[in-house]
Amino acid sequence: MSDYFTYDVIVVGGGHAGSEAAAAAARMGARTLLVTMNLEAIGKMSCNPAIGGIGKGHIVREIDALGGVMGVVTDRAGIQFRMLNQRKGPAVWGPRAQCDRMAYAAAVRQTLEEIPGLYMRADMVVDLLVDDGPDGRRVAGVRTRLGQTFRARAVVLTSGTFMNGLIHVGENRFGGGRMGEGASTGLTAALHALGFESGRLKTGTPPRVDGRSLDVGVMQEQPGDPQASPFSYLTDRLPDDQLSCWLTYTTPRTHEILRTGFDRSPMFTGRIQGRGPRYCPSIEDKIDRFAEKERHQIFIEPEGRHTHEVYVNGFSTSLPEEVQFEALRTIPGMERAHLLRPGYAIEYDYFPPYQIRYSLETKAIRGLFFAGQINGTTGYEEAAAQGLIAGINAVQHLRGEEPLVLKRSEAYIGVLIDDLVAKGTEEPYRMFTSRAEHRILLRQDNADQRLTERGYRLGLVGAERYARFRRKQEALARLRRYLEDTSVRPEQVNGYLEAVGTSPISEPERLARLVLRPQVSLAALLAHTGLGIDVDAPGLERPETLVEIELKYAGYVEREQELVRKMEQLEGWRIPEGFDYHALSNITMEAREKLGKIQPETLGQASRISGVSPADVSVLMVLLKKHGGTARRPEPVEA
């Protein structure tokens, strides 16, 4: 058979998950085919033109640290950069970038086209090829709408919102994966035939309006940070001419008009069956659930440098267009708004994630991986993270090597996947820092320290980038040694200490000790004393900030690592594949049902399943010991 029809890995879908999966597989040396319905829509930002945020920004930095695409592309296409949550501790700081929508998609497409061994095809996958083997069923390729068969030993499905997608605007509804693009059909039925269970979810998007029709003078300006922080550790320069966003609010009149459309809202009339995202509700849901609130925030976000189109963040809706239009014009600054496109809701198929392993390989079909919204998540960042892991593990599967499985203590990506596999989801899953119990270890500033070594060993991080990473680590180490070895006299520093509200010193004190004081900024301390060294660290991040965070949080980090080591004991107990939980009479019926459905791989995973009690876990441990099970030795925990 011609090599045109044969590949190592086939990725279905060209969104954020598919782009990362295809890039990772090809960069690791696999001959990869990316099949997507529309090549012009590769990397398209379907909803808001922004990347990152609290929790989500951490994920993007982890993607970049592992050698993924999203961080580099965001820095290239960004038009505004902000670090959110800076009033709180660094563990919950969240980088966010407003992007040029068209520039972002173009940069993703260009990045993929420059990767050797990555091929693309415009087509719709409608069926999967599956072979029976001695160890069960294995994926063998895909069949497309155009009647072509492409073979591969690993397939990654990243269907986004396209599988049987249905768009709702008021009482109108029609098939589509997003406005202007058709739905994907056939694949859900093919997966059902293979024994998979599916469900329906819902998401939505706001109207787009012409920015020239708005009066931003009555709105509150939201500028970017003067000292902007990049997403990628490779970025040496960000744009100086950042664009502003603008903040305004709905009014009681806005809410009154919106309520007039409730009797035609697909959400309230029952035409939408899928569950929507709890943490990103539509505007009609907000005013229904929070009727006591007189106003809600509305952010006006530019779509790019070369367009007047703006995104009305906070006004996601599927109400009739005329209701949307009338309500928008009651918002301060939007009295003359020209509607370019109404908001809409979209329902789509997903496959509950109890059907996948931590590697994102499906339990039923070897070599078949699910990534992105097919697993029940929402958001570009969550999708991209899954795509990256699925692409990596597709290649690991081909090599017969252990999959990359990140722990909850190693990465937000690990938290994301563990939550999906161990807990499942019945509504679109979104990442928050509050989901991570070890967030003091998982700061956005140390993602490269946690993961770049892993990316290098996998072959995703090249030698040049790895050398840059090593130079940065050596530079930070030099600065730490300098602070630990250098003392400052009272007359050099007491003026600064008193100015920031902390007690003066009476004898020389090492700089590293002074930095531990909450009121002290290392950069300001060095500037006041005239001390410091040029450590020549690559990148835009200030070495002083990074080292200050490490020093101030060292005690917390050490305690957190000890907690992780204790929790690792449960993770070390492997549960044999196919374990028959229903044969156990000494655990609860609910635990038997949940464990049998999810089939956890370790006692740690079993302990996080809703409905499984500590007593149930203890019984399982006794049984594993009785049958010769042993705990693996926990791996070292890195800061």
pLDDT in tens, 109-119: 999 999 999 99
CATH number of the domain located at residue range(s) 561-626 in this protein: 1.10.150.570
Nearest to 109 by CA among 212, 172, 34, 217: 34
The domain 208-342 having CATH identifier 2.40.30.260: the answer here is yes
Cα–Cα distance for residue pair 558/410, rounded to 1 Å: 14
Q: Is the distance from CB of 278 to CB of 435 less than 8 angstroms?
A: no
| Cβ–Cβ < 8 Å for 222, 313 | no
Evaluate whether 107 touches 43 at the Cβ level (below 8 Å).
yes
Residues 38-46, mean pLDDT to the nearest whole number: 95
CA dist 4 to 1, 7, 32, 145, 332, Å? Answer: 8, 8, 11, 17, 57
Give per-residue pLDDT as tens, 149-177.
Answer: 999 999 999 999 889 999 999 989 888 88
pLDDT for res 448: 96
214-240 pLDDT per residue, tens: 999 999 999 999 988 999 999 999 988
**Model confidence at 634, in pLDDT bands (50, 70, 90)?**
very low
CB-based burial label for 4 (10 Å; 0-12, 13-18, 19+): exposed
User: Where are the alpha helices (H) located in 374-419, listed in sequence order?
Assistant: 380-399, 412-418
- pLDDT classification of 522: cutoffs 50, 70, 90: very high
- On the question of pLDDT at 585 being above 90, the answer is no
Number of residues assigned to the chain: 639
Q: What is the sign, positive or negative, of the torsion defined by CA atoms of 378, 384, 389, 390? A: positive
Which residues of the chain does CATH 2.40.30.260 include?
A: 208-342
Q: Is pLDDT at 12 greater than 50 in this prediction?
A: yes
Structure tokens at 300: 């006006």
Which of residues 614 and 95 earns the better pLDDT score?
A: 95
CB 333 within 8 Å of CB 214: yes
pLDDT at site 201: 94
Backbone angles phi, psi at 257, to 5 degrees: -70, -40
Residue located via tokens 């100086």: 240
Q: Where in the chain is the domain with CATH 1.10.150.570?
A: 561-626
Name the β-bridge partners of 345.
168, 204
**Cα 511 from Cα 161, distance rounded (Å):** 53
**What pLDDT is stored for residue 627 in this prediction?**
65
Q: What whole-number distance in Å separates Cα of residue 572 and Cα of residue 11?
A: 32
Q: Above 60 in pLDDT, residue 56? A: yes
Q: How many CB atoms sit inside 10 A of residue 70's CB?
A: 32
Taking the C-alpha atoms of residue 99 and residue 180, their distance in angstroms, rounded to an integer, is 21
Domain(s) of CATH 1.10.10.1800: residues in the chain: 463-552
Q: Are strands 339-341 and 125-133 parallel, antiparallel or unpaired?
A: unpaired
**Which contiguous run of DSSP H or E holds residue 97?**
strand 94-99
pLDDT level of residue 143 (50, 70, 90 thresholds): very high
Q: Is it the case that residue 343 has pLDDT exceeding 90?
A: yes
Alpha carbon distance 536, 538 (integer Å): 6
Q: H or E segment at 350?
A: strand 344-350
Residue 463, number of CB atoms within 10 A of its CB: 8
CA distance linking residue 129 with residue 139, whole number of Å: 6
Return the DSSP state at 93. -
Lowest model confidence (mean pLDDT) among 242-246, 446-450, 574-578: 574-578
274 falls in which pLDDT band (50, 70, 90)? confident
Q: Which CATH number fits domain 463-552: 3.40.190.10, 1.10.10.1800, 3.30.230.70, 1.20.210.10?
A: 1.10.10.1800
* pLDDT surpasses 70 at 299: yes
Give the sheet arrangement for strand 199-205, strand by strand: 172-175, 166-169, 344-350, 199-205
Q: Looking at residue 628, what is its pLDDT? A: 58
DSSP line for 396-407: HHHHT-------
Topology annotation, domain 3-205+348-458:
FAD/NAD(P)-binding domain (3.50.50)
- Per residue in 439-490, pLDDT (tens digit) is 999 999 999 999 999 999 999 999 999 999 999 999 999 999 999 999 999 9
pLDDT at res. 275 = 81
Mean pLDDT, residues 18-41 taken together: 97
